[in-house]
Amino acid sequence: MCEIGENNDPKRQRTDEAQRIFGDNNRINATKPTKMNSVIGDYADINSCFVYKKDYRLELSTNDIESTESVEFKDDCLRSCLRSLLSGGFTCRSLMHMPKDEDCVLTALDGEKAVRTEQKSSQIPVNFYENLCAKLPVQGGIVEGQLRGFRGGDGMIKLTQIRGSKPSTLIILDGVHEKKDFDITYHDDEIKDCFKMTMDEKHNGKKLITVDSDGVGMAVQPWTEIEFDILNDSVLNKTITVTETSTGEVILCGKLKVKGSREEWERAKNSTGKACKFCLIIICILVSVSKQIHDL
């Protein structure tokens, strides 16, 4: 979930107080990036990426199971699913959590493949979840940045867009400081070392969104529309930084790359141009027909 403007949440008030304390520090003020929009990631926990389907389960073969983990709590199972999106391996689209067995089964199968079953007393209770964050909100051009830090932690930012609409972004951070705010910033200028940026380099960045971490150091921003444009080759290989809001320290960074084939990217970029040409042809035909009728 996102919120525009003031937030009355106690966590946000604590953050605001920290920002007021640090506000007198000229060094941090001088390195604040340019703000592109007012979208702030009001604390969205990991559950915002998942939908629970009661009495549903997957009938799995051995090949369908991508990973199994021994976890007691449901949230730990959900986090494992989200971490698959960071690893660059398989994409966890659904999972089954068996709390009595402390078992977590991750799969790449779509939630639509789940079947409704009548729970029998002899069966092990199964909680089935579909990962909505694994689904693209639109089938457009996609860029992605794998975010890494020299002190540990990792993350990813994915953006997708079709011509004529705003892009949507998905952000997942893991292994960051607990219960903190983080600014996600785009840098149009060439950055040689994102962990040793100059004040000018930080100031010239464009903040895309702010996200919050939970009590175990994971931050999740589900698919959210932002004010930005990715359907341009100029965004490729540009730097994305993750900065802890209260300190101004860059903890993660990475570069934007095309996700998928180059042909799909080119189609997404040029889709409007083809549509416009088609519209112009239709208009010309209609004008020509109208003129011929008028001459009669």
- On whether both 19 and 157 belong to a single domain, the answer is yes
- On whether both 111 and 198 belong to a single domain, the answer is no
- On whether both 129 and 252 belong to a single domain, the answer is no
Please tell me the predicted confidence (pLDDT) of residue 182: 96
- On whether both 105 and 195 belong to a single domain, the answer is no
Q: What is the pTM of this model?
A: 0.77
Within-domain flag for 227: yes
Within-domain flag for 39: yes
Please tell me the predicted confidence (pLDDT) of residue 261: 83
For residue 28, give the amino acid letter.
I
Please tell me the predicted confidence (pLDDT) of residue 166: 92
96: domain CATH number is 3.50.4.10
- On whether both 161 and 175 belong to a single domain, the answer is yes
CA 43 – CA 290 distance, rounded (Å): 58
Domain range enclosing 110: 47-134
Instruction: Return the closest-CA partner of residue 141 out of 235, 259, 238, 273.
Output: 259
- On whether both 25 and 159 belong to a single domain, the answer is yes
Residue 94: its H or E element: strand 94-98
Task: Pull the structure tokens for residue 190.
Answer: 């060439």
- On whether both 148 and 251 belong to a single domain, the answer is yes
162: domain CATH number is 2.60.40.200
DSSP assignments along 110-161, one per residue: -GGG-EE-PPPTTSPP-EEEEEGGGS-SSSSEEEEEEEE-TTS-EEEEEEEE
Domain tally, the chain:
2
- On whether both 17 and 158 belong to a single domain, the answer is yes
Within-domain flag for 280: no
- On whether both 71 and 205 belong to a single domain, the answer is no
Please tell me the predicted confidence (pLDDT) of residue 291: 65
Please tell me the predicted confidence (pLDDT) of residue 245: 95
How many CB atoms sit inside 10 A of residue 118's CB?
Answer: 6
Within-domain flag for 273: no
CA 13 – CA 179 distance, rounded (Å): 13
For residue 37, give the amino acid letter.
N
- On whether both 179 and 237 belong to a single domain, the answer is yes
pLDDT 10s digit of each residue in the chain, 296 long? 443 334 455 444 444 443 433 344 433 343 455 554 445 555 578 899 999 999 898 887 777 778 888 888 999 999 999 999 997 778 999 999 998 888 999 999 988 888 888 777 667 789 999 999 999 999 999 999 999 998 889 999 999 999 888 999 999 999 999 999 999 999 999 999 999 999 999 999 999 999 999 999 999 999 999 999 999 999 999 999 999 999 999 999 999 999 988 888 888 888 754 444 444 566 656 666 666 666 66
CA 36 – CA 208 distance, rounded (Å): 6
Please tell me the predicted confidence (pLDDT) of residue 270: 85
β partners of residue 187: 239
For residue 189, give the amino acid letter.
D
Residue 188 · residue 204 · CB < 8 Å: yes
What three-state secondary structure class fits 202? helix
